[in-house]
Structure 1
Amino acid sequence: MSKEVVSYKRHRFPREVIAHAVWLYFRFPLSFRLIEEMLLERGLIVSYETIRRWSQKFGAAFARSLRRKAARPGDIWHLDEVRIVIHGQPHWLWRAVDQDGYILDEILQSRRNTQAAQRLLTRLLKKQGIRPARMVTDKLGSYGAARRKLRLTVRHLSHKGLNNRAENSHLPLRKRERIMQKFRSPGGCQRFVSVFSAVRNLFIPPASIDNALARHIHRIRAFAQWNKATLLTA
Protein backbone atom coordinates (compact mmCIF):
# COMPACT_ATOMS: atom_id res chain seq x y z
CA MET A 1 0.00 0.00 0.00
CA SER A 2 1.38 3.41 -0.95
CA LYS A 3 2.12 5.83 1.83
CA GLU A 4 -0.13 8.89 2.01
CA VAL A 5 2.17 11.90 1.87
CA VAL A 6 -0.60 14.52 2.01
CA SER A 7 -2.75 14.83 5.11
CA TYR A 8 -5.73 17.17 5.49
CA LYS A 9 -6.35 16.24 9.12
CA ARG A 10 -7.38 19.00 11.53
CA HIS A 11 -8.28 21.38 8.70
CA ARG A 12 -11.71 22.98 8.83
CA PHE A 13 -12.13 23.29 5.07
CA PRO A 14 -12.59 20.24 2.83
CA ARG A 15 -9.66 18.99 0.78
CA GLU A 16 -11.30 20.12 -2.46
CA VAL A 17 -11.19 23.75 -1.34
CA ILE A 18 -7.61 23.54 -0.08
CA ALA A 19 -6.30 21.82 -3.22
CA HIS A 20 -8.15 24.27 -5.48
CA ALA A 21 -6.72 27.31 -3.67
CA VAL A 22 -3.18 25.93 -3.89
CA TRP A 23 -3.68 25.12 -7.57
CA LEU A 24 -4.88 28.66 -8.29
CA TYR A 25 -1.85 30.18 -6.57
CA PHE A 26 0.84 28.10 -8.29
CA ARG A 27 -0.88 27.79 -11.66
CA PHE A 28 -1.84 31.43 -12.33
CA PRO A 29 -0.28 34.84 -11.60
CA LEU A 30 -2.65 35.54 -8.71
CA SER A 31 -2.01 37.04 -5.30
CA PHE A 32 -3.39 35.50 -2.11
CA ARG A 33 -5.86 38.38 -1.82
CA LEU A 34 -7.20 37.78 -5.32
CA ILE A 35 -7.69 34.09 -4.56
CA GLU A 36 -9.48 35.08 -1.35
CA GLU A 37 -11.87 37.18 -3.47
CA MET A 38 -12.39 34.38 -6.00
CA LEU A 39 -13.31 31.93 -3.24
CA LEU A 40 -15.63 34.49 -1.66
CA GLU A 41 -17.52 34.73 -4.96
CA ARG A 42 -18.18 30.99 -4.52
CA GLY A 43 -19.49 31.57 -1.02
CA LEU A 44 -16.29 30.48 0.77
CA ILE A 45 -14.95 32.84 3.42
CA VAL A 46 -11.21 32.13 3.57
CA SER A 47 -8.60 34.69 4.58
CA TYR A 48 -5.61 35.34 2.36
CA GLU A 49 -3.35 34.37 5.27
CA THR A 50 -4.98 30.93 5.42
CA ILE A 51 -4.39 30.50 1.69
CA ARG A 52 -0.76 31.47 2.20
CA ARG A 53 -0.35 28.82 4.90
CA TRP A 54 -2.02 26.20 2.71
CA SER A 55 0.38 26.99 -0.12
CA GLN A 56 3.38 26.66 2.16
CA LYS A 57 2.19 23.45 3.80
CA PHE A 58 0.72 21.55 0.86
CA GLY A 59 2.61 22.94 -2.15
CA ALA A 60 5.82 20.98 -1.59
CA ALA A 61 3.94 17.73 -0.87
CA PHE A 62 1.85 18.10 -4.03
CA ALA A 63 5.00 18.80 -6.06
CA ARG A 64 6.77 15.69 -4.74
CA SER A 65 3.80 13.55 -5.70
CA LEU A 66 3.68 15.07 -9.18
CA ARG A 67 7.40 14.45 -9.78
CA ARG A 68 7.06 10.77 -8.89
CA LYS A 69 4.49 10.36 -11.67
CA ALA A 70 6.15 12.67 -14.20
CA ALA A 71 6.69 11.49 -17.75
CA ARG A 72 10.21 10.76 -18.93
CA PRO A 73 11.82 14.04 -20.07
CA GLY A 74 13.69 14.61 -23.32
CA ASP A 75 17.39 14.00 -23.85
CA ILE A 76 18.43 17.52 -24.96
CA TRP A 77 19.30 19.82 -22.08
CA HIS A 78 18.99 23.59 -22.47
CA LEU A 79 20.77 25.39 -19.62
CA ASP A 80 20.51 29.04 -18.66
CA GLU A 81 20.60 31.34 -15.65
CA VAL A 82 18.53 34.39 -14.72
CA ARG A 83 19.37 37.17 -12.27
CA ILE A 84 17.06 37.58 -9.25
CA VAL A 85 17.60 40.36 -6.71
CA ILE A 86 16.59 39.56 -3.13
CA HIS A 87 16.93 42.35 -0.53
CA GLY A 88 19.33 44.17 -2.84
CA GLN A 89 21.62 41.16 -3.26
CA PRO A 90 21.92 39.56 -6.71
CA HIS A 91 21.31 35.82 -6.99
CA TRP A 92 21.20 33.54 -10.01
CA LEU A 93 18.53 30.97 -10.72
CA TRP A 94 20.18 28.23 -12.76
CA ARG A 95 17.66 26.25 -14.80
CA ALA A 96 17.65 23.29 -17.17
CA VAL A 97 14.80 22.45 -19.56
CA ASP A 98 14.46 19.80 -22.24
CA GLN A 99 13.54 20.29 -25.90
CA ASP A 100 9.82 20.42 -25.04
CA GLY A 101 10.27 23.12 -22.41
CA TYR A 102 9.87 20.67 -19.50
CA ILE A 103 11.79 22.02 -16.49
CA LEU A 104 14.32 19.41 -15.41
CA ASP A 105 15.80 21.22 -12.44
CA GLU A 106 16.54 24.67 -11.09
CA ILE A 107 18.68 25.91 -8.27
CA LEU A 108 19.18 29.38 -6.79
CA GLN A 109 22.81 30.29 -6.18
CA SER A 110 24.69 33.42 -5.20
CA ARG A 111 27.39 32.99 -7.86
CA ARG A 112 27.52 32.89 -11.63
CA ASN A 113 30.68 30.88 -12.13
CA THR A 114 32.06 27.43 -12.94
CA GLN A 115 31.34 26.03 -9.49
CA ALA A 116 27.68 27.05 -9.75
CA ALA A 117 27.36 25.55 -13.24
CA GLN A 118 29.03 22.35 -12.03
CA ARG A 119 26.57 22.07 -9.17
CA LEU A 120 23.64 22.32 -11.59
CA LEU A 121 25.10 19.67 -13.89
CA THR A 122 25.87 17.34 -10.99
CA ARG A 123 22.29 17.59 -9.73
CA LEU A 124 20.95 16.99 -13.21
CA LEU A 125 23.05 13.88 -13.78
CA LYS A 126 22.00 12.47 -10.41
CA LYS A 127 18.28 13.23 -10.79
CA GLN A 128 17.92 12.21 -14.44
CA GLY A 129 20.09 9.14 -14.14
CA ILE A 130 21.30 9.47 -17.74
CA ARG A 131 23.54 11.71 -19.76
CA PRO A 132 21.94 13.98 -22.36
CA ALA A 133 22.35 13.47 -26.07
CA ARG A 134 23.14 17.16 -26.43
CA MET A 135 23.68 20.16 -24.16
CA VAL A 136 22.75 23.68 -25.33
CA THR A 137 23.86 26.85 -23.53
CA ASP A 138 24.58 30.49 -24.19
CA LYS A 139 28.12 31.84 -24.46
CA LEU A 140 28.84 31.75 -20.72
CA GLY A 141 32.17 29.93 -20.38
CA SER A 142 31.25 28.40 -17.01
CA TYR A 143 29.18 25.70 -18.69
CA GLY A 144 32.05 24.43 -20.80
CA ALA A 145 34.44 24.53 -17.85
CA ALA A 146 31.98 22.61 -15.67
CA ARG A 147 31.45 20.02 -18.39
CA ARG A 148 35.20 19.45 -18.64
CA LYS A 149 35.58 19.16 -14.86
CA LEU A 150 32.87 16.52 -14.77
CA ARG A 151 34.36 14.80 -17.84
CA LEU A 152 30.96 14.92 -19.46
CA THR A 153 31.53 13.71 -23.01
CA VAL A 154 28.41 15.02 -24.71
CA ARG A 155 28.00 17.41 -27.60
CA HIS A 156 27.90 20.97 -26.29
CA LEU A 157 26.39 23.72 -28.44
CA SER A 158 27.21 27.18 -27.11
CA HIS A 159 25.30 29.87 -28.96
CA LYS A 160 22.83 32.48 -27.70
CA GLY A 161 20.48 32.07 -30.64
CA LEU A 162 20.10 28.32 -30.04
CA ASN A 163 19.06 28.67 -26.40
CA ASN A 164 15.70 30.39 -26.73
CA ARG A 165 14.00 27.37 -25.15
CA ALA A 166 15.76 27.98 -21.81
CA GLU A 167 15.58 31.77 -21.98
CA ASN A 168 11.83 31.72 -22.61
CA SER A 169 11.35 29.42 -19.61
CA HIS A 170 12.24 32.36 -17.33
CA LEU A 171 9.32 34.52 -18.48
CA PRO A 172 6.52 32.94 -16.36
CA LEU A 173 8.65 33.25 -13.23
CA ARG A 174 9.42 36.88 -14.02
CA LYS A 175 5.68 37.55 -14.19
CA ARG A 176 5.13 35.89 -10.83
CA GLU A 177 8.04 37.81 -9.32
CA ARG A 178 6.33 41.09 -10.26
CA ILE A 179 2.99 39.94 -8.80
CA MET A 180 4.72 38.92 -5.56
CA GLN A 181 6.72 42.17 -5.48
CA LYS A 182 9.97 40.24 -5.40
CA PHE A 183 11.00 37.27 -3.30
CA ARG A 184 11.59 37.77 0.42
CA SER A 185 14.45 35.30 0.91
CA PRO A 186 16.62 32.86 -1.10
CA GLY A 187 15.02 29.89 0.67
CA GLY A 188 11.54 31.18 -0.05
CA CYS A 189 12.43 31.67 -3.69
CA GLN A 190 13.81 28.13 -4.01
CA ARG A 191 10.74 26.63 -2.34
CA PHE A 192 8.37 28.58 -4.55
CA VAL A 193 10.03 27.74 -7.86
CA SER A 194 10.20 24.02 -7.02
CA VAL A 195 6.40 23.87 -6.66
CA PHE A 196 5.68 26.41 -9.39
CA SER A 197 7.70 24.44 -11.93
CA ALA A 198 6.17 21.08 -10.98
CA VAL A 199 2.66 22.46 -11.50
CA ARG A 200 3.66 24.19 -14.72
CA ASN A 201 5.29 21.02 -16.06
CA LEU A 202 2.03 19.17 -15.49
CA PHE A 203 -0.40 21.61 -17.08
CA ILE A 204 1.54 23.29 -19.90
CA PRO A 205 1.43 21.11 -23.07
CA PRO A 206 4.87 20.25 -24.49
CA ALA A 207 6.08 22.14 -27.54
CA SER A 208 5.57 19.02 -29.69
CA ILE A 209 1.76 19.26 -29.26
CA ASP A 210 0.55 21.47 -32.09
CA ASN A 211 -3.24 21.05 -32.31
CA ALA A 212 -6.21 21.98 -30.13
CA LEU A 213 -7.53 18.44 -29.59
CA ALA A 214 -4.18 17.15 -28.35
CA ARG A 215 -3.84 20.11 -25.98
CA HIS A 216 -7.35 19.46 -24.67
CA ILE A 217 -6.55 15.79 -24.02
CA HIS A 218 -3.28 16.77 -22.36
CA ARG A 219 -5.09 19.06 -19.91
CA ILE A 220 -7.74 16.45 -19.09
CA ARG A 221 -4.95 14.00 -18.19
CA ALA A 222 -3.18 16.73 -16.23
CA PHE A 223 -6.26 17.34 -14.09
CA ALA A 224 -6.63 13.61 -13.46
CA GLN A 225 -3.01 13.43 -12.30
CA TRP A 226 -3.45 16.53 -10.13
CA ASN A 227 -6.48 14.99 -8.46
CA LYS A 228 -4.46 11.88 -7.63
CA ALA A 229 -1.52 13.90 -6.31
CA THR A 230 -3.83 15.91 -4.04
CA LEU A 231 -5.79 12.80 -2.96
CA LEU A 232 -9.03 14.07 -4.44
CA THR A 233 -9.34 10.72 -6.23
CA ALA A 234 -7.87 7.32 -5.46
Structure 2
Amino acid sequence: MSMMSNPYWGFRYPAEIINQAVWLYHCFSLSLREVELILAARGVVVSYETIREWSLRFGRTYAKTLKRRRPQPGDKWFLDEVFVRIRGKLHYLWRAVDQHRNVLDVLVQSRRNAKAAKRFFRKLLKGLRYVPRVIVTDKLGSYCAAKREILPGVEHRQSRYLNNRCEVSHQPTRRRERPMRRFKSVRHAQQFLATHTPIHNHFQLRRHRLSASEYRTTRDRAFLTWRHATGVAVVG
Protein backbone atom coordinates (compact mmCIF):
# COMPACT_ATOMS: atom_id res chain seq x y z
CA MET A 1 0.00 0.00 0.00
CA SER A 2 1.37 3.41 -0.93
CA MET A 3 1.82 6.20 1.60
CA MET A 4 -0.81 8.30 -0.21
CA SER A 5 -3.48 5.58 0.00
CA ASN A 6 -2.87 4.82 3.69
CA PRO A 7 -4.53 7.47 5.90
CA TYR A 8 -2.64 6.13 8.94
CA TRP A 9 0.81 6.59 7.43
CA GLY A 10 3.07 8.69 9.63
CA PHE A 11 1.16 8.04 12.85
CA ARG A 12 2.99 6.55 15.81
CA TYR A 13 0.19 4.14 16.68
CA PRO A 14 -1.18 1.44 14.35
CA ALA A 15 -4.57 1.71 12.72
CA GLU A 16 -6.11 -0.87 15.07
CA ILE A 17 -5.45 1.29 18.15
CA ILE A 18 -6.74 4.48 16.53
CA ASN A 19 -9.79 2.56 15.35
CA GLN A 20 -10.41 1.17 18.85
CA ALA A 21 -10.10 4.56 20.53
CA VAL A 22 -12.58 6.24 18.20
CA TRP A 23 -14.97 3.29 18.51
CA LEU A 24 -14.91 3.39 22.32
CA TYR A 25 -15.47 7.13 22.41
CA HIS A 26 -18.45 7.16 20.08
CA CYS A 27 -20.15 3.87 20.92
CA PHE A 28 -20.25 4.34 24.68
CA SER A 29 -20.90 7.27 26.98
CA LEU A 30 -17.25 7.65 27.85
CA SER A 31 -15.16 10.74 28.32
CA LEU A 32 -11.80 11.12 26.60
CA ARG A 33 -10.04 10.48 29.90
CA GLU A 34 -12.03 7.28 30.42
CA VAL A 35 -11.02 6.02 26.97
CA GLU A 36 -7.42 6.87 27.88
CA LEU A 37 -7.76 4.76 31.04
CA ILE A 38 -9.25 1.77 29.17
CA LEU A 39 -6.41 1.83 26.63
CA ALA A 40 -3.85 2.15 29.44
CA ALA A 41 -5.28 -1.00 31.05
CA ARG A 42 -4.49 -2.76 27.78
CA GLY A 43 -0.92 -1.49 27.72
CA VAL A 44 -1.50 1.39 25.30
CA VAL A 45 -0.14 4.65 26.73
CA VAL A 46 -1.76 7.57 24.93
CA SER A 47 -3.05 10.93 26.18
CA TYR A 48 -6.69 11.96 26.04
CA GLU A 49 -5.68 14.93 23.85
CA THR A 50 -4.33 12.51 21.26
CA ILE A 51 -7.60 10.58 21.39
CA ARG A 52 -9.43 13.86 20.81
CA GLU A 53 -7.30 14.52 17.73
CA TRP A 54 -7.94 11.01 16.42
CA SER A 55 -11.66 11.47 16.88
CA LEU A 56 -11.62 14.77 15.00
CA ARG A 57 -9.37 13.57 12.19
CA PHE A 58 -10.62 10.05 11.61
CA GLY A 59 -14.09 10.02 13.19
CA ARG A 60 -15.59 12.24 10.53
CA THR A 61 -14.17 10.06 7.76
CA TYR A 62 -15.44 6.89 9.45
CA ALA A 63 -18.92 8.40 9.82
CA LYS A 64 -19.14 9.50 6.18
CA THR A 65 -18.02 6.07 4.98
CA LEU A 66 -20.60 4.31 7.17
CA LYS A 67 -23.34 6.54 5.78
CA ARG A 68 -22.34 5.64 2.23
CA ARG A 69 -22.30 1.93 3.06
CA ARG A 70 -25.60 1.78 4.93
CA PRO A 71 -28.63 0.20 3.24
CA GLN A 72 -31.22 2.44 1.61
CA PRO A 73 -33.11 4.13 4.48
CA GLY A 74 -36.87 3.78 4.83
CA ASP A 75 -39.49 5.90 3.10
CA LYS A 76 -41.16 7.07 6.31
CA TRP A 77 -39.36 9.90 8.08
CA PHE A 78 -39.91 10.94 11.69
CA LEU A 79 -38.69 14.45 12.54
CA ASP A 80 -38.25 16.08 15.90
CA GLU A 81 -36.24 18.78 17.65
CA VAL A 82 -34.99 19.15 21.22
CA PHE A 83 -33.24 22.01 22.92
CA VAL A 84 -29.54 21.94 23.74
CA ARG A 85 -27.88 24.55 25.91
CA ILE A 86 -24.63 25.91 24.49
CA ARG A 87 -22.75 28.42 26.62
CA GLY A 88 -25.94 29.27 28.45
CA LYS A 89 -28.03 29.88 25.34
CA LEU A 90 -30.79 27.63 24.02
CA HIS A 91 -30.31 26.05 20.62
CA TYR A 92 -32.25 23.29 18.89
CA LEU A 93 -31.07 19.91 17.68
CA TRP A 94 -33.14 18.77 14.70
CA ARG A 95 -33.12 15.04 13.99
CA ALA A 96 -34.75 12.68 11.49
CA VAL A 97 -35.08 8.89 11.71
CA ASP A 98 -36.80 6.37 9.47
CA GLN A 99 -39.32 3.69 10.44
CA HIS A 100 -36.46 1.32 11.28
CA ARG A 101 -35.02 3.83 13.79
CA ASN A 102 -32.03 4.58 11.59
CA VAL A 103 -30.90 8.16 12.17
CA LEU A 104 -30.95 9.98 8.84
CA ASP A 105 -29.38 13.31 9.75
CA VAL A 106 -28.96 15.93 12.49
CA LEU A 107 -28.65 19.71 12.45
CA VAL A 108 -28.01 22.18 15.28
CA GLN A 109 -29.70 25.56 14.83
CA SER A 110 -30.44 28.59 16.96
CA ARG A 111 -34.12 28.71 16.00
CA ARG A 112 -37.02 26.34 15.37
CA ASN A 113 -39.02 28.53 13.02
CA ALA A 114 -40.04 27.89 9.41
CA LYS A 115 -36.66 29.03 8.07
CA ALA A 116 -34.89 26.53 10.30
CA ALA A 117 -37.28 23.73 9.29
CA LYS A 118 -36.71 24.47 5.59
CA ARG A 119 -32.97 24.38 6.10
CA PHE A 120 -33.22 20.99 7.77
CA PHE A 121 -35.49 19.61 5.02
CA ARG A 122 -33.01 20.74 2.36
CA LYS A 123 -30.11 19.15 4.23
CA LEU A 124 -32.02 15.87 4.46
CA LEU A 125 -32.87 15.82 0.76
CA LYS A 126 -29.34 16.75 -0.28
CA GLY A 127 -27.83 13.96 1.79
CA LEU A 128 -30.38 11.23 1.04
CA ARG A 129 -31.28 12.16 -2.55
CA TYR A 130 -34.78 10.73 -2.46
CA VAL A 131 -38.20 11.88 -1.34
CA PRO A 132 -40.03 10.08 1.48
CA ARG A 133 -43.49 8.62 1.22
CA VAL A 134 -44.60 10.00 4.59
CA ILE A 135 -43.20 12.41 7.14
CA VAL A 136 -44.30 12.32 10.78
CA THR A 137 -43.82 15.32 13.08
CA ASP A 138 -45.26 16.87 16.19
CA LYS A 139 -47.63 19.81 15.82
CA LEU A 140 -44.98 22.51 15.44
CA GLY A 141 -46.24 24.84 12.72
CA SER A 142 -42.77 25.29 11.22
CA TYR A 143 -42.92 21.78 9.79
CA CYS A 144 -46.12 22.56 7.90
CA ALA A 145 -44.63 25.68 6.32
CA ALA A 146 -41.48 23.83 5.26
CA LYS A 147 -43.40 20.82 3.99
CA ARG A 148 -45.71 22.94 1.82
CA GLU A 149 -42.75 24.55 0.07
CA ILE A 150 -40.22 21.73 -0.16
CA LEU A 151 -42.23 18.47 -0.03
CA PRO A 152 -45.68 19.47 -1.31
CA GLY A 153 -46.65 16.00 -2.56
CA VAL A 154 -45.62 14.08 0.55
CA GLU A 155 -48.13 12.88 3.13
CA HIS A 156 -47.71 14.69 6.44
CA ARG A 157 -48.92 13.19 9.72
CA GLN A 158 -48.87 15.31 12.86
CA SER A 159 -49.17 13.81 16.31
CA ARG A 160 -47.30 14.07 19.59
CA TYR A 161 -47.70 10.29 20.03
CA LEU A 162 -46.73 9.01 16.56
CA ASN A 163 -43.33 10.66 16.85
CA ASN A 164 -42.02 8.71 19.85
CA ARG A 165 -39.29 6.86 17.96
CA CYS A 166 -37.64 10.14 16.95
CA GLU A 167 -37.94 11.52 20.47
CA VAL A 168 -36.26 8.37 21.83
CA SER A 169 -33.42 8.77 19.33
CA HIS A 170 -32.27 11.89 21.19
CA GLN A 171 -31.33 9.86 24.27
CA PRO A 172 -27.76 9.00 23.17
CA THR A 173 -27.07 12.71 22.75
CA ARG A 174 -28.38 13.44 26.23
CA ARG A 175 -26.13 10.74 27.65
CA ARG A 176 -23.12 12.26 25.88
CA GLU A 177 -23.65 15.80 27.11
CA ARG A 178 -22.73 15.12 30.73
CA PRO A 179 -19.26 13.53 30.28
CA MET A 180 -18.49 16.21 27.67
CA ARG A 181 -19.67 18.95 30.06
CA ARG A 182 -21.99 20.20 27.35
CA PHE A 183 -21.07 21.46 23.91
CA LYS A 184 -18.73 24.43 23.64
CA SER A 185 -20.19 25.98 20.48
CA VAL A 186 -22.68 25.32 17.70
CA ARG A 187 -19.83 24.23 15.46
CA HIS A 188 -18.53 21.86 18.13
CA ALA A 189 -22.00 20.34 18.62
CA GLN A 190 -22.61 19.90 14.89
CA GLN A 191 -19.17 18.39 14.22
CA PHE A 192 -19.40 15.97 17.13
CA LEU A 193 -22.98 14.84 16.44
CA ALA A 194 -22.37 14.45 12.70
CA THR A 195 -19.62 11.98 13.65
CA HIS A 196 -21.17 10.38 16.71
CA THR A 197 -24.60 9.71 15.23
CA PRO A 198 -23.63 7.42 12.30
CA ILE A 199 -21.06 5.50 14.36
CA HIS A 200 -23.33 4.99 17.36
CA ASN A 201 -26.30 4.17 15.12
CA HIS A 202 -24.27 1.56 13.21
CA PHE A 203 -23.95 -0.58 16.36
CA GLN A 204 -27.57 -0.24 17.54
CA LEU A 205 -28.60 -3.74 16.54
CA ARG A 206 -32.08 -4.03 18.14
CA ARG A 207 -31.00 -7.00 20.20
CA HIS A 208 -34.42 -7.40 21.81
CA ARG A 209 -35.85 -8.34 18.40
CA LEU A 210 -33.21 -10.93 17.50
CA SER A 211 -32.44 -14.42 18.66
CA ALA A 212 -28.97 -15.03 20.14
CA SER A 213 -27.63 -16.52 16.91
CA GLU A 214 -29.17 -13.75 14.78
CA TYR A 215 -27.71 -11.12 17.07
CA ARG A 216 -24.20 -12.60 16.85
CA THR A 217 -24.41 -12.78 13.07
CA THR A 218 -25.65 -9.20 12.84
CA ARG A 219 -22.97 -8.03 15.27
CA ASP A 220 -20.21 -9.76 13.27
CA ARG A 221 -21.52 -8.13 10.11
CA ALA A 222 -21.51 -4.72 11.80
CA PHE A 223 -17.89 -5.16 12.90
CA LEU A 224 -16.86 -6.33 9.43
CA THR A 225 -18.42 -3.23 7.88
CA TRP A 226 -16.71 -1.11 10.53
CA ARG A 227 -13.30 -2.60 9.74
CA HIS A 228 -13.74 -1.92 6.04
CA ALA A 229 -15.08 1.59 6.68
CA THR A 230 -12.11 2.45 8.88
CA GLY A 231 -9.56 0.87 6.57
CA VAL A 232 -8.28 -1.58 9.19
CA ALA A 233 -9.14 -4.59 7.03
CA VAL A 234 -7.10 -3.08 4.20
CA VAL A 235 -4.19 -1.83 6.31
CA GLY A 236 -3.95 -5.11 8.21
Provide TM-score, normalisation by structure 1: 0.94
Partner secondary structure for residue 38 of structure 1: helix
Distance 1:183 1:59 in 2: 17
Structure 2 unmatched runs, 5+ = none
Partner secondary structure for residue 112 of structure 2: coil
Q: Which residue of 1 aligns with 2:31?
A: 31
Q: What value does the CA root-mean-square deviation take over the aligned residues?
A: 1.6
Asked whether 1:123 is paired with 2:113, we answer no
Contact 2:59 2:195 in 1 (8 A): yes
Q: Which residue of 2 aligns with 1:89?
A: 89
Deviation, 1:5, is 7.2
Distance 1:148 1:5 in 2: 46
The Cα offsets for residues 123-156 of structure 1, whole Å up to 9 and x where unpaired, read as 2222222211111001111101111122521111
Structure 1 unmatched runs, 5+ = none
Partner secondary structure for residue 93 of structure 1: strand
TM superposition outliers: structure 1 runs of 4+ over 6 Å: none
The Cα offsets for residues 10-69 of structure 1, whole Å up to 9 and x where unpaired, read as 211111111100110011000111111111111111111111111111111111111111
Partner secondary structure for residue 194 of structure 1: helix
The Cα offsets for residues 62-112 of structure 1, whole Å up to 9 and x where unpaired, read as 111111111111110000001011011111111100011101111111111
Distance 2:190 2:119 in 1: 15
Distance 1:30 1:105 in 2: 23
Deviation, 1:168, is 0.2
Distance 2:165 2:208 in 1: 13
Provide TM-score, normalisation by structure 2: 0.93
Contact 2:207 2:215 in 1 (8 A): no
Partner secondary structure for residue 197 of structure 2: helix
- The verdict on how the C-alpha distance between 1:81 and 1:6 changes in structure 2, with shifts beyond 3 A counting, is farther
Q: Which residue of 2 aligns with 1:76?
A: 76
> How many residues matched?
231
The Cα offsets for residues 208-227 of structure 1, whole Å up to 9 and x where unpaired, read as 94433322222111100110
Contact 2:77 2:99 in 1 (8 A): yes
Output aligned runs, 1:139-150, within 5 Å.
Answer: 139-150=139-150
Partner secondary structure for residue 161 of structure 1: coil
Distance 2:85 2:40 in 1: 34
Distance 1:226 1:5 in 2: 18
Asked whether 1:169 is paired with 2:192, we answer no
Q: Which residue of 2 aligns with 1:196?
A: 196
